[in-house]
Every structure is written in C-alpha cells, then in structure tokens.
Structure 1
Amino acid sequence: MSSQREKSIEAAASGRCKADPNSDARTGWRNLAAFWVLGLCNNYGYVVMLSAAHDILNRDSTVVETCPEPRNSTRSCNQVSTGAILLADILPCVFIKLTAPFLPFFVHARMATCVLFSATGFLLVSMSDGRLIMAVAGVVITSLSSGLGEVTLLSYSHRFSKSVISTWSSGTGGAGIIGALSYTWLLYFLSSKDTLLAMLVVPAIQAITFWLVLTHPEPTITLVTDNGGVGSQEQIIEAPKMSTARKIRLVPGLLKYMIPLGLVYLFEYFINQGLMVNVILLTFEAVYYYIPTIWIVFTLVLWEGLLGGAAYVNTFYRMSKEIPWEQREVSLGIASMADSIGIAMAGWLSMPVHNVICHLPLPQRVGS
C-alpha cells in the first residue's frame, strides 16, 4: 500500500494525473527543456569567470609576473594563481549551499535573487577596469547566484519527473562548453568589457525560462484518496515541515552520495586548472615539449567531462529514487554542497602546485 501511495505521489508531482495525455506530453518536454536551459544559465556565469580568470588577474598590472631569468622559460605567470579566482568563484557557492538547505524554501524569491545576482556579477566584473577588488566582488556575487540556483533547482526538481535531473545535469555540463567557447569567440569581436556586458542576456534568459517556460506544479502534492488509484476525489497532502535539527540529522545518511561526488569534482577541477596535466606531462618532457597534438588534450578533457557529468547525474538520480519523498527536497539540496566542497579543495591545492610549475624551466624538444 505504501508503495502504491508513493507511486501516486510521484505521478501527481510530475503531472501525470492530467486528463489530456497530449497536453501532459507537451508539458513533460517543456519541463525537460526548461531544466536544461536553467542548468546552462545557472552555471554559465561561473564558467565564464573561470575562463576569464587570467584576463581578470592581468587587468591589474601589479599581479603579473614573468618567470625570472636566467631560466629557460617563456611562461607568463600570475603571482596570484588562477586558483585564487577558482576559490573566489567557489567559496561563496560553498557557503550558500551549506546554509540554503536549512532555510525556508521560497523558490520564486530565491530565483529572483539568482537572476539579480547573476546580472550584478557580470556588471561588476565588466566595469572593474583594473580594480581587482571590484572584479573579485563580481566573481563572488556570480558564485552566490550559481550556488543558490543549484541548491534551489535541485530541490525543486523533486516535484517533477525524475528525468529533469538528466536534462539539468546536461545543461550544467553544456555551460562548460558553451560558456568557454562563447567567451573566447566574442573576444574576437569585442573587448573583454563589452563581452561581459553582452552576457547579460543570460540572466534574462534564465528569468524567462523559469517564469514563462517551466510549468510550475501546485505548491502541494495532489494524491488521490482511498485506494491510491486514479479517481475523481483528490486530497492535498502537505510534505511534513522539518526543523533545522532534523535536517542536520539527515546529513550522515547522505554521505554515501556526497563523498564520491566530492572526490570526483576535486580531481576534475584540479585537472581543469591545468595543473594535474602539467604534473603528469613533466615526466615526459624528455621526449616531447609537453604534448605532440592538441587533440590528445581535447580527448582527455572530453573523457574527464563525461566522467564528471555521469557521476553528477547518477548521484542525484539515485537519490530521487532511493530517498523517501518527504525527505527528498531537503536531501537533494544538502547533497549539492558535495561538488562545491570538492571544487574548493581543488582551488586550495592548485595554488601551491601552480607556483611550483610556473617556476620550472621549459624543456627542450628532442633534436632542437
């Protein structure tokens, strides 16, 4: 009976109890597409800030350093590692993910804050004009927007079909490619300032998608009474309210999901900073000057992204199936902090390794 009750709740939450099957199918695809776009927009600013990290640091001439002579090196290094931008981009995200799951869940107010913060972040970084503090403040605000958006939309996803987890994850992964490529492409035509201003279209798309494209379910879950089958009488079932203490007690049971996910993101973002690849390649420098073809790098990055995305989507998909529905909204939000903690650890590790690699002499190609 409890299993049948659970299925009825899931059907109601994902809108499958509607009378018109064609309308239901259209709504399903619309929500899947909306979560993909929301995932893209939510992570877009975060990715762009990482892509622009070196440019942000170079705007202040006091932080630029070329490795000193007489080393055989042409590396252009920053006294402040790009890992510092990674930390500015992730630590506020960690903070918001540590706190938001334990606060009241006002989804519309949260998303309005996300859109406002995202736009403000782009504006601050674009207008920093060499003022590093202003640029970092913009990165921090963008990070807050991304973190709040992720914890909110992952929690909100439990009211829809489980498939939205897959499209959300795909959208966040797409942000990595689309964000980096769009930033690089726009720099061919615009200044870095105008490029970031042009990206104000992203929070606008995020707002349009959330309030006009996504079909929002009722704030409560509709469950048919008596035998749990489809009938004419409906009862409104409220998910039980949880105290902060009860939410905290859920954390130990979620560690089996959070620890593996955190480790995946620790190693992935350590690689993304170009550090682990450099460490590995240093052992082959007697044969190659780094790497013989860029396509090897592309292949490694593609494989890394596939592994990270698979870990992310499978973690939250399993949670959406294994965790009782009354705990699911809070649990999804709590577990979302795992990836950000892993990324923050990667940022800390990247800075000392960056300093070591920066001051190593470049190798000579064999036969040169």
Structure 2
Amino acid sequence: MESPNEDREQKLMTKLGFSFFMFGLINNVLYVIILSAALDLVPPSTPKGIIAFCNIAPALVAKVAWPYILKGRIRYARRLIGCCTLSFLGMLIIAFFDGLFVRLLGICFASFSSGLGELTFLQLSTTYSPPTVAGHAVGYFASGTGAAGLVGAFLWWEVRGLGVRLGVGMSSVMPFLIPLTFFFLLPHNSAFLFSITPTVYDDQFSPPPALSALPYTPIAEAEDEEGEEEGTFAPGPTKGIHLSVADKIRLVKPLLLKYMLPLFCVYLFEYTINQGIGPTLLYAVPSKESSWLLSKIIHSVRDYYPLWQLVYQTFVFFSRSSISMGIPPLPERLLPLPSIIQGCILLTLGYEAAVGFFSGESDTKSIFGICGGLAYVNVFYRINHEPPDASIRYNDIELTRQAREFKIGSIGFADSTGILLASILAVPTEVGLCNAQAARGKMFCKGL
C-alpha cells in the first residue's frame, strides 16, 4: 500500500507529465499544420520547399541566438505569453491575407514562436529537482512533440475542406492552451521540495544535497531589475548574477561531440530521406493479389508519399514516447547509435531509389522515424541528468541553475540545423534519384 507521500508524489508526477505533454503537443502542432497545408498556402508555380524553409529557419534563429543574447534568469511566464501571442498573430496573418510574402511572414512568426517555445520548455524542465523529475518532464515533452505530427496532420485533414481562411483561423486559438496549462495545471517546482524520488546524476555521483535537492523558491513578489527572469528566485544577493559569454562558450564546448553531433547527424539523415528520397520511393499501384492491405490504401502513385508520412509520424511518436512509456533511456555511450543506424537507412533507401533492388512495393522506409525520435528524447533526458559543471562552485546556486538552463537550451539548435541543411540537400537528391530512375525506365516520379 502506498504511503501518503508516495501517493502525493505520484499525483504530482502525473500532472507534471501531462502538462509537459501538452506543451510539446501544442508548441509543435502548428508547425505540422503549416507543412500539411503547404499545397493550399502557395500558388501552384511556387516551390513548396519555401514553406519548409520559412517553417524552420526562424525557429533555428531563435534556438541559436536566444541562449547567448539574453542573460540572467528566465521569465518563463512572460516568454510563454509572448510565444502564444506571436503564434496567434502568425496564424491569423496566414489565414486572412492572400499575398504570398505576407503569408510567408506569418509562417516565420509561427516558426520563431515554436523554436523559442521548444527552447523554453526544455529549460523549464531543468527547474525541477531531483533530476529524475526533470527527466520525467523532458520525456513527456518529447512525447507531446511526437504526438503533434499525428494530431496536426489529422486536424488539417479534417478542416482543409473549410479552406485556408477558416481552417487555419480555427487553428490559431490552439496556442492559448499553453498559458492555461502553465498557470492552472503545471505543478510549481517547489511542490517537489520534499520529493522522495532519489537524486541521481548520470549514474556517476550525486552532488551535495544542498545543491542537488534544492528546488526553485516560490514566486517572488518583486520583479528583478536585471536579467530575464520574473521571480522564480527571491530578490537578494543573487540579483544581477548571470553567466558571461565566455562562461557559455566554455559550457557548450563539451556538448558539441557528446550531444550536438549525434542530434545533428540523425536529423540531417532523417530529413534528407523524408524530403529527398521519400518522394522517389514510388511503385506500381498494388493489386489485391499482391497486397490486400495496401491495395485498399494506395489507389494511385501519388498516395505513396502521404502513406510514408503517416507511417513516419507514427514511428516518431512512439520513439519520442519511449521514456514516458517506461522504456529505459539509452546509455550515454550509445547516444551516437541512432545516427549510425539512420545513416545506414539513408544509404539503403538511396540505393533502392536509384537502382531498385527491392521487388514490388516496399515499406522499409517506415522504420526511419524511429532513430530521430530516440536521439531527441535520449539526448535531452541525459543532459538533464548531467552533474553540475565542475568549474562552478557548489555554493553558487544561482550560476549552477543558470548553467543547467543554458546547457539544455544550447543544444536545441542541433536538430534544427540538421533539418535546415537536409531541406537544402533534398532538392538535388530528389532530382538526381528521379533522373536515375528515368534512365532505367521507371517514370513514376516524372509523372507527379
């Protein structure tokens, strides 16, 4: 039978997990809706890749610049309200203006908001102690971002018949769920002050209890004059203390090979497949004799790519939900493994598209969404379990907390950089593979 403390903690963990799941879902769902609506947002003569570029480049700018430009404590409430407002305005611009450049501006607003929101929620997870609680928050946030792919694609499928103005306009109210969840559902970090969950940092050592178990203090009545935070610390001797640019560069260097490179590579490979190879994985429409199930789904060659996308998003959701479903995280030494597997899948599918060694219709592409999701959730889970930086004194609680927020925020741009580079590489990849198929008499890609 559970003790009252265990029952209390279980309820808190459930609320924390659901809150971060909603953060991930709502923050990313507009990104998916915009990509799903790409055909309806631009004229037929306009390359659809411009939608993908405007949907990722501003988010990348937010992830790269924000952790370095702003200093001091993070104003979580103000940030989230700002992100909500920017997303709302961006979607309204997309819905109510028909001009291409104005719509692209609205997409940029929504993209910047999504990038800054993801950065903020990952940083928010570090304010919870012990690390197991923080990792719980990250696991459910990653699960929510995975669910956004399925929910966003389904929502647009349902509302696209209403047209861009009404369909996108209705979607614009979704960001308001974020501040509602933040203010009325999310447990305050001080609720875990007497947590019975053990404090473990990356299975190596535990720092002194005064540092490892102390959560943020309750909301202060007065706002700080310096820094970016609005009172997760009480004003006092820590006021005005912040990490310098030199401190941030020193903190980020050990993360480059350990976390950023695996995350960058797996998303570079994954989205090169998604945008460059996927459109060329086309086969003859299956007959009932060859495939009873696929024949009910695939009615024309154009149906293959949406099918790959649906299967891809499904695997992304399950892989990003691995930790929230209770699957143990990858050991730190195995973090590069998803990118290695993803690279092998890239070569295999690229060779299949160019040469065609699989017989008939093939569904092997469906597995490539696993790797990116596993890399994403495990990288952010592991960095939340890292011990405090050795160069920061244990009694300097303020700088230690800022260092944790900065470190998890600084690696967030790695996946976006990989996606952006993939969107550039995908164009010549698709053209080259399509030409290779045409040279051997397979003309499906030329007819799309």
Coarse TM-score class (shorter-chain normalised): 0.7 to 0.9
Cα distance per residue 1:153-181 (max 9 Å; x no partner): 10110122121111000000110110011
- Equivalents in 2 of 1:144, 1:55: separation in Å? 21
Task: Evaluate the alpha carbon distance shift between residue 290 and residue 344 of structure 1 in structure 2; reply closer, same or farther with a 3 A threshold.
Answer: farther
1:259 CA displacement: 0.8
Contact 1:278 1:357 in 2 (8 A): no
Letter in 2 for 1:336: G
Work out whether 1:187 is the aligned partner of 2:160. yes
Structure 2: distance between partners of 1:136 and 1:114: 18
Residues 23-38 of structure 1: matches in 2 within 5 Å? 23-38=8-23
Cα distance, 1:355–1:113 mapped onto 2, change above 3 Å: farther
Match of 1:265 among 264, 267, 289: 267
Question: Any idea what the Cα deviations from partners look like across 1:69-118, whole Å, max 9, x if unmatched?
Answer: xxxxxxxxx4x2x2221111111111111111121322111111110111
Q: Does 1:134 align with 2:210?
A: no
Q: Which residue of 2 aligns with 1:168?
A: 141
Q: Distance in 1 between matches of 2:250 and 2:39?
A: 41
Q: Which residue of 1 aligns with 2:82?
A: 113
Answer whether contact 2:21 2:143 (CA < 8 A) is retained. yes
What secondary structure is seen at the aligned counterpart in 1 of 2:242? coil
Separation of aligned partners in 2, 1:198 and 1:310: 32
Whether contact under 8 Å (1:122, 1:138) holds in the other structure is yes
Tell me which residue corresponds to 1:177: 150
Match of 1:319 among 376, 383, 408: 383
1:306 is the counterpart of 2:370: yes
Q: How far did residue 290 of structure 1 move?
A: 9.9
- 2:252 — aligned with what? 251
Distance in 1 of aligned mates of 2:431 and 2:421: 17
1:353 deviates by 3.9
Deviations 1:96-148 (A, max 9, x none): 1111112132211111111011101110111122x001110011000111011
The equivalences for 1:10-49 within 5 A come to 20-49=5-34
Aligned residue for 1:349?
425
Distance 1:146 1:31 in 2: 21
SS in 1 for 2:253: helix
Mapped contact 2:189–2:215 kept (Cα < 8 A): no
Measure, in 2, the Cα distance between the counterparts of 1:322 and 1:290. Answer: 50
Mark the runs of 5 or more structure 1 residues left unpaired by the alignment.
1-18, 59-63, 66-77
State the distance in 2 between where 1:137 and 1:251 align.
32
213, 216, 221: which is aligned to 2:188? 216
Alpha-carbon distance in 2 for matches of 1:289, 1:309:
30
Aligned to 1:89: 55
Letter in 2 for 1:259: L
The whole-number CA distance in structure 2 between the counterparts of 1:33 and 1:176 is: 18
Superimposed CA distance per residue, residues 177-232 of structure 1 (whole angstroms, 9 cap, x where no aligned partner): 100111111123x122101111123111112111211122259x899xxx849xxx
Pair 1:235–1:174, CA change in 2 (3 A)? closer
Q: 1:21 to 1:192 in 2, by over 3 A?
A: same
TM-score, length-scaled by structure 2: 0.63
Q: Is the 8 A contact 2:138 2:381 kept in 1?
A: yes
Mapped to 2, the partners of 1:92 and 1:344 lie a distance apart of 11
Give the match for residue 408 of structure 2: 332
Report % sequence identity: 33
Cα offset, 1:265, TM superposition? 1.3
Does the Cα contact within 8 Å between 2:84 and 2:176 map onto a contact in 1? yes
Q: CA deviation at 1:49?
A: 1.2
- Partner of residue 144, structure 1: 112
Match of 1:100 in 2: 66
Q: Which amino acid aligns with 2:420?
A: A
Query: 1:7 corresponds to which residue?
Result: none
- Which 10-residue stretch deviates more, 196-205 or 289-298? 289-298
SS in 1 for 2:42: helix
Aligned residues: 314
SS in structure 2 at match of 1:241: coil
Q: TM-score, normalised by structure 1?
A: 0.76
| Per-residue deviation, 1:24 | 3.0
Q: Which amino acid aligns with 1:197?
A: G
Is the contact made by 1:222 and 1:234 (CA closer than 8 Å) also made in structure 2? no
In structure 2, what residue type is equivalent to 1:244?
A: V
Query: Which deviates more from structure 2 when the two are superposed, residues 298-307 or residues 108-117?
Result: 298-307
Q: Aligned with 1:163: secondary structure?
A: helix
What is the CA–CA distance in structure 2 between the aligned matches of 1:194 and 1:235, rounded to whole Å?
A: 43
CA positional deviation for 1:269: 2.2
Structure 2: gaps (5+ residues): 196-207, 218-232, 299-303, 316-366, 390-399
Question: Structure 1 214/345 Cα, relative in aligned 2: closer, same or farther at 3 Å?
Answer: same
Structure 2 vs 1, CA of residues 323 and 55 (structure 1 numbering), >3 Å: closer, same or farther?
A: farther
- Give the Cα–Cα distance (whole angstroms) in 1 for the partners of residues 109 and 286 of structure 2: 36
| Corresponding residue number in structure 1 for 2:323 | none
